[in-house]
Amino acid sequence: MTFDPRPAAKLLADAWRTGQLLDVLPDGIRPNDIHEGYDVQDLLMAELGKPVVGWKLGVGSAPQKVQTGVGRAIAGRILGSHLFKHGDTIPVPATGPAIIEFEIGFILGRDIRPDESAFPVMDAVSEVCVTYEIVFSRFKDRLAAGWPSFGADNGAFHALVLGGKVDPARLAFLAQTLTVSANGEEMAGAIIGDLATDPTQSFADLIAVAKARTMLLPKGSIISTGTLSKPFPVTGAETVLRAQFLGQELACTLKAG
């Protein structure tokens, strides 16, 4: 039987609008693999009707790619209405914790067409920057929901905070100096070793997904490449996030409601 992504997309769109969390997608409408998950994600974006300004990647370390069975980082869209900047206050649902990830972002300096030959991926990047991804799933337990459903749910994207430019030659030193705090308490540093995400490889994974799904990646798109810091949850009425690195800072405030 051919998979129909429309019922799952509608259910997830309703969850986006109402804030009601789901246990799992019901049998019969649940995607069976990541390709079906992306089919749902495509229609979810159409249901929400919000402009897309880029892509985010998740579960992109080498061990995670094996664990998920996908073999690549899992991609989702960045919604323009959920894009913020340094110093902004970001509304988050009060129905559960938000997960905080400090990431490296790339700004595309040209279109990447799905039919073009392989190229050094950084040749398409005009700017390297820092970001926070604020993760909030439409599932009570995104891991229990399964990886295809995680992809269907736009990779549990809630918001992206776009920070300042960084020198790509200093990314390794950035990781060595990174600390992320919540309300003045240090919560995380950079992930090191095998569990670390390689931003360039995550970007290459996105290009492979776009090629397989014949999607154009337009010039100016923001690509947030997956967490550089150890993810951590935040709860409470108000949380001030502050990341310090290379003598720079990325800060924002989360406000639950």
pLDDT digits (tens, 9 = 90+) for 150-186: 999 999 999 999 999 999 999 999 999 999 999 999 9
Tokens 């749910």 found at? 153
Distance between CA atoms of 247 and 241, rounded to whole angstroms? 16
Query: Which contiguous run of DSSP H or E holds residue 35?
Result: helix 34-48
Q: Looking at residue 6, what is its pLDDT?
A: 98
Q: Looking at residue 70, what is its pLDDT?
A: 96
Average pLDDT taken over every residue of the chain: 97
What is the token pair recorded at 88? 């902004």
Distance between CA atoms of 36 and 4, rounded to whole angstroms? 9
Mean pLDDT of the 211-217 span? 98
Distance between CA atoms of 223 and 210, rounded to whole angstroms? 13
Tell me the residue type at 141. D
Under a CB-based contact definition with an 8 Å cutoff, are residues 243 and 249 in contact? Answer: yes
Mean pLDDT of the 8-31 span? 96
Mean pLDDT of the 129-141 span? 97
What is the token pair recorded at 230? 């150890």
| Domain 52-256 sits in CATH 3.20.20.70 | no
Q: Looking at residue 157, what is its pLDDT?
A: 98
Q: Where are the domains of the chain?
A: 52-256
pLDDT tier, 1 (very low <50, low <70, confident <90, very high otherwise):
confident
Mean pLDDT of the 113-130 span? 97
Distance between CA atoms of 138 and 23, rounded to whole angstroms? 9
Tell me the pLDDT tens digit for each residue of 22-51.
Answer: 999 999 999 999 999 999 999 999 999 999
Q: Looking at residue 185, what is its pLDDT?
A: 98
Tell me the pLDDT tens digit for each residue of 75-110.
Answer: 999 999 999 999 999 999 999 899 999 999 999 999
Q: Looking at residue 53, what is its pLDDT?
A: 98
pLDDT tier, 137 (very low <50, low <70, confident <90, very high otherwise):
very high
First-to-final CA distance of the chain: 42
Mean pLDDT of the 124-137 span? 98
Q: Looking at residue 83, what is its pLDDT?
A: 98
DSSP state letter for 153: T
88 Cβ contact partners less than 8 Å away, ≥ 6 residues apart: 161, 252, 253
Mean pLDDT of the 212-226 span? 98
Tell me the pLDDT tens digit for each residue of 192-211.
Answer: 998 999 999 999 999 999 99
pLDDT tier, 116 (very low <50, low <70, confident <90, very high otherwise):
very high
What is the token pair recorded at 58? 């998740």
Phi, psi of 210 (to 5 degrees): -60, -40
Mean pLDDT of the 134-148 span? 95
